[in-house]
Amino acid sequence: MRPNIQALIVIDVQNDFCPGGALAVADGDAIIPRINALMREFAVRVLTQDWHPADHSSFAANHPGAAPFSLTQMPYGPQVLWPTHCVQGTPGADFHDGLATDPADLIIRKGFRSGIDSYSAFFENDRETPTGLEGYLRNRGVTDLTLVGLATDFCVGYSAIDAARLGFGVTVLEDACRAIDLDGSLAKARDEMKRAGVVLA
């Protein structure tokens, strides 16, 4: 039997999601020391990075008259319209200075197609277009994933559910995540993760 190989997936610990950023998650930077300590415990370490073009369709600013955090319909379903954030090549898209990025084996960028958002590290929001992360993890022999980062109820949650659906063992360390909690989105995400078989630790 092959041994279980564990990977740490660090989701979107970027300036725009930390205090002072364009789409700040409360206490988003408070999880960084915990994440840096975890890096030493895993054989495989992957960082994800939101990486949007300025004309991205998920930005409220690109929908005249639309308010940030309102909902719109996209060809792939309902989409929250966000404040402009993590624009390619801007300081807001950079990883937080406190995050130890050197240990990462892979940095995967997502959300770079202007017409579709990408919460999950595995698929665009159409739930079909892959990011390539699954193939990388399979090639490395990874069986089990631990997810940390920002935000619990969006990019972490979507990534965890997709990973479970793909057959990985999945744990989300809630003390190394923070949530946006938009209209009850945290409770909903926790319920959906549990139903998918994700362990909340």
Residues involved in catalysis: 12, 110, 155
The dihedrals phi and psi of 190, each to the nearest 5 degrees, come to -65, -45
Question: Residue 26 region, left (φ>0) first, then alpha (ψ -120 to 50), else beta?
Answer: beta
The closest alpha carbon to 152, from 133, 123, 173, 167, belongs to 173
* C-alpha span between 38 and 8 (Å, rounded): 8
Query: Are 172 and 179 within 8 A, CB to CB?
Result: no
